[in-house]
Each structure stands twice: as structure tokens, then as C-alpha cells.
Structure 1
Amino acid sequence: MPREIALLTNPTSGKGRGAAARAAALPRLRDAGFVVRDLAGADADESLDLARAAVADGVWALVVCGGDGMVHLGVQAVAGTGTHLGIIPAGTGNDVARYVDLPRKDPGAAADRVVASTPRRLDLARSGSRWFVTVLAAGFDAIVNERANAMTWPKGQMRYNLATLAELRTFEPLPYTLELDGETRQLDAMLVAVGNGPSFGGGLRITEGALLDDGMLDVVVIKPMSKMGLVRTYPKLFKGTHVTHPQYEHHRVRSVTVAAPGIVAYADGERFGPLPLTVESDPGALSILA
């Protein structure tokens, strides 16, 4: 019996690259001998329903075609199950594809990699009944996300740049309560990030050094700094060199509770939920084809 996989596409991902990536990947998967269910939901809720139904039916793998938001959706369906996750990158950030060294600009090559890969286990971060792969943003970066999501113009990265400038004018450090493996700390900070992996937002290495198979979470605190200091530090996130900044603090824990007033946290670039949130490492919860 040939193995069956579900190919789930977000056709609007990456300004329409999702549909083009699906067209390149689908024949490669079928030529490799898989029986492919070709799925696309009208919205995120329908897509998740389709993914969960396919996993419940016992497909060998769920292959998602899109960006980190689509990976996030797929993870909700496969976490803790025997179904493997494959990725055809077609988003703007593609951080999870970066983590596992998948081709990010050649969907045909990514499909070939899925076909040839041996499944490997990665950790996930879990909060209640939801999981994430990359980073939970719970501070200035989350506020920027909220503003950008409320804007209808412009599109793409420029919307985030404008949202950042708008929020920077009035932003003040937030009072946080953190519980790090049971130890409580109260402090003021610009942001707190909880990393399962090292980067988010298309290669911003906020939780530099985080490993995907160590059973630990990396909690980064950026303590109060001037607005110009924040602007100057931002480019260092792309190289992970911000770790030498005196206002940078790093903890490795199995569980963290993050509380701060008025913050809606984001994870994998998706709206995750209002603080407080408790996040735990879920070792080996994801089987990925990479």
C-alpha cells in the first residue's frame, strides 16, 4: 500500500507564493509514490479542521505549504501524534524552515527533501492545549504585532516598520512577573521572549542559542533601555550579537509563567493569547520530515 499524505496549502501565503509552491510540490510528491490529499481551507479554522481530520484518518504525514503561520497550524494537528510534519516553505519569515535547513526559495527542492527525509523528533513549547515551534513574543514586539494587524495599509514588512515607529513614540517599560521553574521574579522590561527555537520574524535571533532538542525553553529579557538604544540594538538581532548588551538577560528553564498588564502574546507570528501564560517544554512532541 502506498503511503498517504495530506498536502495543506495556504494559497495566499507569501503574497500568493503558496499556490505556486503547491503547484511545484504536488507532482513531486505524487511522482515519489505517495497518495496525496490536496487540501486548502477557506480560512485558518477550516484549514485546521481539514488537518485534524486527515491526522485522525491516519495519514502518514501532513505536509504544509505556506509560512510559519501554516506550520503553527499544522503543529496543532500533529503534536503528540504519530503523524509526521513536512514543510514546503512559501511564507515571508520561514523561520522553522531555517531551523531544519529546508530550501526556502525552491518548493520543488523542498518537496524532494520531504520525500527523502527520515523523520526526526523536535521539542515543542506548550501552553495549555496549544503548541508553538519558534518564539513567544510578550512585550514591545507583541504590541507592534497587534498594531500592525489592525492596520490595512501598507502591506508587508513596511506595515511592521510603521507600527514599530508608532509604538516607539509612547512605549514605556512594562512591569513583569516571571515564574522561572518555580522561582518568582518581578522586574521592568522592554520585552520578554520565550524561545523553543532561536529566531522569529524572518531571522531575528532573539533567543540566540536555543536548541530544538534539549527539553528546555530559553527565556530572554530585554531590560529597560532608551528608545534610541532599542533602535540601535535591533539590527544586532539578525546576527544574535545582542547577547553582549548589558540589558540582556537569559534563562534556560523547563517551565515559565509570564505576566504583564495589557499584553496579548504572539507565537510563530500568530496571535496566541493574553498574558498571563504558562509555557512548558514538550520534549520530542513533533516528528518532522527534514
Structure 2
Amino acid sequence: MPRHAVVLTNPTAGKGRGARVRDAALPRLHGAGWRTTSLSGRDADEAGDLARTAVGQEPDLLVVCGGDGMVNLGLQAVAGTPVPLGILPAGTGNDFARVLDIPLRDAVAAAGRLIRGAPRAVDLARIGDRYFGNVLAAGFDAVVNERANRMSWPRGRMRYNLATLAELRVFEPLHYVLELDGVQRRVDAMLVAVGNGPSFGGGLRITHGADLHDGLLDVVLIKPMGKMELVRTFPKLYDGSHVTHPQYERHRVRTVTVACAGIVGYADGERFGPLPLTVESVPGAAQVWA
């Protein structure tokens, strides 16, 4: 019996790349005998409704075509259900697809991975009734996200680079109260990141070593350092070598509460709300097709 995949697309992802990726991938799926239903949401609310309705009809899998925001939307729909989530990467960061080793720039190859794939359980992190797959940003990185979201120009990664430079001029260490598996800690830091997976921002491995299958969250602190030292350390995030820096600190916990005045938390690139936020690991919360 042919597989039935509901393919939900963000047509504006990656400057219109979402629709192009979908149109390149669907013939590959059809050629393998798959049956597909193609859906497209006009905005995040409509796409979320479409995803939940589709999952309720129990297709063989829900495939999202877009960036990390679209993946996050798909995770909300499939979490706690037997329907797996497949991914056709079409965004700027694509960090969850990166963790699953899905080809990021070749739609036909990504479709081929779906055809050869199988469901497997992964952990998710949960804040209230919302889930995320990779990293909660709760410091300098979150402040940059807030500024970038207020900017209308330029688009893509360059907007975040400019926002980073703008914030770096005025940024000072933040005062945090953390609760790590019930143990309170007060600390000054440049940022606190909570990782279910290892990366954010298009491959920045801030929570290097985080595992989607261990039932734990990786809480990383970058403690105070000078602005030039922060600039020098930034490139090390791409290969995880920042873990040797003396101002790096890592904790592995099941739950964490992060409190800091004036900071808004972002997870999977999506705005989750002002701190304090409590994050818990939910082992095996979702099935992914990989």
C-alpha cells in the first residue's frame, strides 16, 4: 500500500525557496509510489491549524517544507501522536534538519531520504504546552533575535549579523537566577542556552554535545567576557570548540527554570515569551522520519 504524506509548505521560507523545494521534491515522492496531499498556510496560525487537522487524520507522515519555524510548528502537531514528522529543508537555519543529517540544499536528495527513511523517537523540550526541538536562547542571542525581528532590512542571515553588531556595542552581562533540577544558582553571564539538540542560528553549536535521545537538557552558560573576546570566540561555535573556553559552563538536567529581567526567550527561532521560563525534557515525545 503506498505511503500517504501530507506535505505542508511555508511558501515564503528562504525567500520563496519553500515552494521551489516542494515542487522539486514531490515528483521524487510520486515516482516512488507515494501519495501526497499538498497544503500551504497563509500564516503561522493557519499553517498550525492545517498541521493539527492533518495529524488528526493519521497520515503515514506529516512533512513540513520550510525552515526551523515550520519544523517547530510541525512538532507542536505531532508531539504525543504516532504520526512522524518529515522535513524538506527550505529555510535559512535548518538546524533540526541538520541534526537529522538531512540534505539542506538538495530537495531531490532530501526527498530521497524520506523515501528510504523510517520513524524514530526523539526527545523534545517543553515550556508550558509548547515544544521545541533544538535550543532555547535566553541572553545576548535572544536580544539579537528581538532586534532582528524589528528590522525590515536586510533579509536573511545578514540581518542577524547587523543586529549582532548593533547589540554588541551596548551589551553588558546579565544577572540570572537558574533552578537546575531544583537547585538554585545565581550567576552573571552573557547568555544562557538550553539545548535539547546542539545548534541554533544555522549551525552554531552552542549546546555542543546535546543528544536528542538521552532524556536530558544541556544548559550552557557563557560567563562574562570582554566584547572583543566574545567576537573572537564566536567562530568557535561552528565546530563546538568553544567548550574549552574558561568562561564556558555546562549542566545536564531534566528541568531548568531560567529567570532574567528584560529578556525574551526564543526557541527554534520562535518567540516563546519573557523570562522566567521553565523547560523540561520530554523523552520520546515525537516521532521523526529520518
Amino acid at match of 2:39: L
Q: Aligned partners of 2:106 and 2:31: how far apart in 1?
A: 17
- Alignment partner of 1:170: what SS? coil
- Alignment partner of 1:257: what SS? strand
Which residue does 1:250 correspond to in 2?
Answer: 250
Distance apart, 1:35 and its partner CA: 2.4
Which residue does 2:193 correspond to in 1?
Answer: 193
Which residue does 2:36 correspond to in 1?
Answer: 36
Distance apart, 1:25 and its partner CA: 1.2
Which residue does 1:160 correspond to in 2?
Answer: 160
The 5 A counterparts of 1:140-289 are 140-289=140-289
2:168, 2:227 within 8 Å by CA — same for their partners in 1?
yes
Which residue does 1:128 correspond to in 2?
Answer: 128
The count of aligned residue pairs is 290
Deviation track 1:162-202 (CA, whole Å, cap 9, x = no partner) reads: 11111111111111000000000011111000000111111
Q: Aligned partners of 1:139 and 1:276: how far apart in 2?
A: 12
Q: Give the TM-score normalised by structure 1.
A: 0.98
Q: Give the TM-score normalised by structure 2.
A: 0.98
Q: Aligned partners of 1:254 and 1:166: how far apart in 2?
A: 35
Segments of structure 1 that go 5 or more residues without pairing to the other structure are none
Q: Aligned partners of 1:43 and 1:106: how far apart in 2?
A: 25
Q: Aligned partners of 1:106 and 1:168: how far apart in 2?
A: 35
Deviation track 1:39-72 (CA, whole Å, cap 9, x = no partner) reads: 0000011000000000111112100011111111
The 5 A counterparts of 1:76-87 are 76-87=76-87
How much is the aligned-residue C-alpha RMSD, in angstroms?
1.0
2:122, 2:212 within 8 Å by CA — same for their partners in 1?
yes
Distance apart, 1:27 and its partner CA: 1.8
- Alignment partner of 1:30: what SS? helix
- Alignment partner of 1:210: what SS? coil
Q: Aligned partners of 1:88 and 1:159: how far apart in 2?
A: 24
Q: Aligned partners of 1:272 and 1:107: how far apart in 2?
A: 30
2:92, 2:157 within 8 Å by CA — same for their partners in 1?
no
Amino acid at match of 2:79: A
Q: Aligned partners of 1:17 and 1:274: how far apart in 2?
A: 31
Distance apart, 1:17 and its partner CA: 1.0
Which residue does 1:107 correspond to in 2?
Answer: 107
Deviation track 1:59-115 (CA, whole Å, cap 9, x = no partner) reads: 121000111111111001001101010001111111111111111111111112112
- Alignment partner of 1:185: what SS? strand
Q: Aligned partners of 2:2 and 2:237: how far apart in 1?
A: 45
